[in-house]
Amino acid sequence: MFSAFSDLGVRAESVIYSDDSVDLVRDRLLGLDGVLVWVNPIQNGLNRSKLDALLREVADAGTWVSAHPDVILRMATKRVLMDLASMSWSTEVHLYESHDQFRAELLDRLALKGPLVLKQHRGVGGEGVWKVELDEGHHGNVRVQHAFGGGDPEQLSIQAFVDRCSPYFDDGGLMVEQPFQPRLAEGMIRVYLSQDQVVGFAHQFPRGLLPPGSSPPPGKEFEQPTARQYQPLRERMEAEWVPEMQRILKLDTQVLPVIWDADFLYGPKTAAGDDTFALCEINASSTFAFPNFAMPVVAQAALDLITSSGD
């Protein structure tokens, strides 16, 4: 990234943030023309509330910020899965807006829908993402598996699990429900974007929610945006899905993050044997593992936006 900026004649520097250094970071950011931000939404009991307030203040003062906290809230939390449920990249989605609603509805929905995946509003690394299904041999019990850390399934009473999820509803939190995708073991396709342009792909194999004893391939390999196997997905992203997302969320292209990604799981195959894709999540706050070959595009987009914001 630094090399890509240097090639454009732009001096880039690193700024390390912590909640204890807000005033110091504010002074540094106000002296810059633009800021690219990579900070997890939650980490070790902390969240971005102080940082996001600072970034809004800095942006209001004229420093270009990507991704702006308000844009993240509109396009890159789990609630966006509900907001975009009408799109063809979506699975069925159900929203739990309160812990009382969650307690009242979850058991019946498990009985009706089968295995579900539940996701808290903001998380990272699978934290607050659960696979849940009824334990057929024990009435009122569920089998749950937390994606964070790749834990083994547990058997709990439905009430114990509901109580465990209570913190996810604190401070206006919520949970989103999607059906469990049976092709999960085939991996996830991450589509890397800069604003409305696809700049790369990766086929990776998250360990969370896989059956115990599974041995998915390690790591991931970045693929160029021209990779043949992903051209149907690229075409749908650029020509259909990103523009439709922008219309629904009322996001102009100029405010889209210069670094973000959309994660897709494999859906059921068509009658012709072609793959379908189901949106798993959108990342825009902590998408740091980005293809090196895409950085010149990112740097140029950032420079263009910084220049235009100063006009």
Cα 59–Cα 40–Cα 211 angle in degrees, nearest 5: 150
Say if residue 172 is in the same domain as residue 103. Answer: yes
What is the pLDDT at residue 43? 86
Of the spans 44-53, 150-159, 238-247, which averages the highest pLDDT? 238-247
Which pLDDT tens digit goes with each residue over 64-95?
A: 999 999 999 999 999 999 999 999 999 999 99
Q: Is 310 a member of any domain?
A: no
Q: Is 32 a member of any domain?
A: yes
Q: How far apart are CA 209 and CA 143, in angstroms?
A: 12
Separation in Å, CA 161 to CA 70, 121, 157, 168, 178: 32, 17, 6, 12, 17
Say if residue 283 is in the same domain as residue 191. Answer: yes
Say if residue 86 is in the same domain as residue 194. Answer: yes
Q: Is 223 a member of any domain?
A: yes
Segment (H or E) for 55? helix 49-60
Indicate if the pLDDT at residue 137 is higher than 80. Answer: no
What is the pLDDT at residue 29? 97
Say if residue 287 is in the same domain as residue 219. Answer: yes
Say if residue 242 is in the same domain as residue 112. Answer: no
Q: How many other CB atoms are there within 10 angstroms of residue 108's CB atom?
A: 9
Say if residue 77 is in the same domain as residue 222. Answer: yes
Domain boundary among 179, 205, 235: 179
Q: How far apart are CA 136 and CA 142, in angstroms?
A: 8
What is the pLDDT at residue 310? 67
Say if residue 39 is in the same domain as residue 138. Answer: no
Look up the CATH number of the domain holding residue 260: 3.30.470
Q: Report the pLDDT averaged over residues 56-70.
A: 96
Domain region containing 167: 94-179
Say if residue 78 is in the same domain as residue 106. Answer: no
Within 8 A by CB and 6+ apart from 193, the residues are 199, 237, 242, 256, 260, 261, 262
What is the pLDDT at residue 311? 58
267 against 206, higher pLDDT: 267
Within 8 A by CB and 6+ apart from 95, the residues are 79, 82, 174, 175, 176, 177
Say if residue 26 is in the same domain as residue 158. Answer: no
Cα 113–Cα 119–Cα 123 angle in degrees, nearest 5: 170
Q: Is 302 a member of any domain?
A: no
Domain boundary among 67, 83, 111: 67
Say if residue 133 is in the same domain as residue 220. Answer: no
Q: Is 249 a member of any domain?
A: yes
Q: Is 311 a member of any domain?
A: no
Which pLDDT tens digit goes with each residue over 185-229?
A: 999 999 999 999 999 999 998 888 888 878 777 778 899 999 999
Say if residue 85 is in the same domain as residue 100. Answer: no
How many domains does one find in the chain? 3
Q: Report the pLDDT averaged over residues 157-182.
A: 96
Say if residue 284 is in the same domain as residue 196. Answer: yes
Average pLDDT, the chain: 94
